[in-house]
Structure 1
Amino acid sequence: MSENVATLYNSPEGQLGPSLFGDHLHWGYWDAETADADFAAASDRLAQIMIGKTVIGPDQRFIDIGCGIGQPAIMLAKAKGCRVDGITISSYQQQTATAKAKAAGLEDRLHFILGDALDIPREDQTYDGGWFFESIFHMGHAAALREASRVLKPGATLVIADLQSRPTITTEFREFVNKHIHSTFVAMEDYPRLMADAGFELIGIDDITDNVMPYLVPKLKETLTKYDMVIKDTIKEDSDKMLDNWIYMFEYMRDNLGYMLATARKI
């Protein structure tokens, strides 16, 4: 599956996402007070929420597993003063994240690795904290958590932003996302067992479905309209078809998935 994920994010369509979402590759957080926020602002807010849940000190080492183009890692390093390693299977993302860190003057604190998140090239118990920020569903939850457990020190905090399956999720949807975005999803109720099996103590789960999913499609449509020319310049052919596919995908995900933030401690 990792080769398929790399192909997805190295493609012109995969490279377009950060341009639309404020350099982020995750969804956003909205509430009554911020209902007018665009996708980029809401994505930035969700990153701030994740940083707020992260337990990491100055000069400690943190692992961003599935780091995208590095925007949340840069925000975290600035906020906490920690050192961050990010790992991504996408050469485009690794190169872009490295350039962004240099432009931010943080190349001494940020290092982005091109590699497989299920085989992180670091020794056991290297890191003082870590997160999966809307990435674990590309890796397989059990295997990804085992690898995170291997590289984290005992007592380290792991934070996860994940899309959980709804009770009404369909077999057709599971087959569709496995084929088209190389992803598998689990229920929120599966997390205690998954965490325990990987050597983590689950501290808590916040179900933020109502802050994400109802806003998803209308905010996407606003963004696609706003960046219409950028999209057409990037996607030279069949850009209208791509836009239709994105809207269909987001509608399909809205109807079958929720959103959760989990926090756990390495035992």
Structure 2
Amino acid sequence: MSSLKSEKVAEMYDATGEIGLYLISDNQLHFGYWDENNRDANVGEGAERLTQMMIDKSEILQGERFCDLGCGVGVPAMRIAKAKGCFVDGITISKYQCNKGKDLAEEAGMSDQVRFIQGNALEIPCDDAIYDGGWFFESIFYMGHSEALREAYRILKPGATLLIADLITRPNTTEEFKKFAKEELDSDHIPKEDYPGLLDEAGFDLIEIDDITEFVMPFMFSRLKAGFKQHEAEVLQYVKSEEINGWLQVFENVCDNLGYILVKAKKRVRS
């Protein structure tokens, strides 16, 4: 991620208007998962379900070190730290997210277990091979997949598990949307089929790719719209109604054009 691009992503997440999304999503700024067990769940509950799925896929052990690459305000980081008894470093390019994460960790009494670093996840200020596991939770498309995987390889120990929640292109993804995503959302999306080669090139062995598009994209927009309606009075303290409509149009466009996968891989142990 170039310095200019990282600045634009930071500005996007630092923007006061984004507070509306934090309110609606219970501070979990990622998509949700809905099936027959939680069909009526709201955005925050759906996001919590997806966080738990990521935690369940992790192989991190008690007392080990985990890295959340693009951590938002750190709720998933705190969830995995509590569930697994591990120590988590969350890195975010956003000053707002970093400070909010620190506040939330302190409120939860987890400051000794979960810490936050403001910086570029492609240039993590740490030694090589120090983490026992990590994830990109809806963040890798901002960084560039090859570059992000190379940095993950550098910081993870041999045999460590890497998890990725990613928004992918589909056969119906339009060229117009790809251009919009790159120019307006500062994100690059790839098809699912690119993952095996990218992981292999970066030094990871692919364990599984779970395509959960059908449980995410058909529901996200309607749940988000309902969330904005429910919290309208609170959100309008920070943004104008036309800005809310603009956000909703973007999310509808994203849900129409992209799919959603969960990827599990291991850093190759070289002989």
Give the TM-score taking structure 2 as reference length.
Answer: 0.96
2:33 to 21, 29, 32: 29
Residues 1:246 and 2:250 aligned together: no
2:138 to 118, 134, 138: 134
What is the count of residue pairs matched by the alignment?
Answer: 264
Q: For residues 201-216 of structure 1, what are the structure 2 equivalents within 5 Å?
A: 201-216=205-220
Residue 68 of structure 2 corresponds to which residue in structure 1?
64
Q: Alignment partner of 2:37: what SS?
A: helix
Question: CA shift at 1:234, angstroms?
Answer: 1.5
Instruction: Give the distance between the partners of 1:123 and 1:244, measured in 2 at CA.
Output: 44
CA deviation string 1:4-58 (max 9, x = no partner)? 0000000012233211101101010000231111111010110000000011011
Question: CA shift at 1:241, angstroms?
Answer: 1.3
Q: Alignment partner of 2:233: what SS?
A: helix
Letter in structure 2 aligned against 1:166:
R
Q: Alignment partner of 1:49: what SS?
A: helix
Residues 1:91 and 2:95 aligned together: yes
Instruction: Give the distance between the partners of 2:234 and 2:202, measured in 1 at CA.
Output: 43
Q: Give the alignment's Cα RMSD to 1 decimal.
A: 0.8
CA deviation string 1:90-137 (max 9, x = no partner)? 000000001111111111111100000000001100100000001111
Residue 84 of structure 2 corresponds to which residue in structure 1?
80
Is the contact made by 2:133 and 2:156 (CA closer than 8 Å) also made in structure 1?
A: yes
Letter in structure 1 aligned against 2:139:
S
Q: For residues 113-132 of structure 1, what are the structure 2 equivalents within 5 Å?
A: 113-132=117-136
Instruction: Give the distance between the partners of 1:99 and 1:221, measured in 2 at CA.
Output: 28
Is the contact made by 2:19 and 2:235 (CA closer than 8 Å) also made in structure 1?
A: no
Residue 109 of structure 1 corresponds to which residue in structure 2?
113
Give the TM-score taking structure 1 as reference length.
Answer: 0.97
Letter in structure 1 aligned against 2:242:
K
Residue 200 of structure 1 corresponds to which residue in structure 2?
204
Residue 52 of structure 1 corresponds to which residue in structure 2?
56
Instruction: Give the distance between the partners of 1:13 and 1:173, measured in 2 at CA.
Output: 23
Q: Alignment partner of 1:62: what SS?
A: strand
Q: Alignment partner of 1:204: what SS?
A: strand
1:20 to 13, 17, 24: 24
Percent of residue pairs identical: 47
Letter in structure 2 aligned against 1:143:
E
Instruction: Give the distance between the partners of 1:74 and 1:254, measured in 2 at CA.
Output: 27
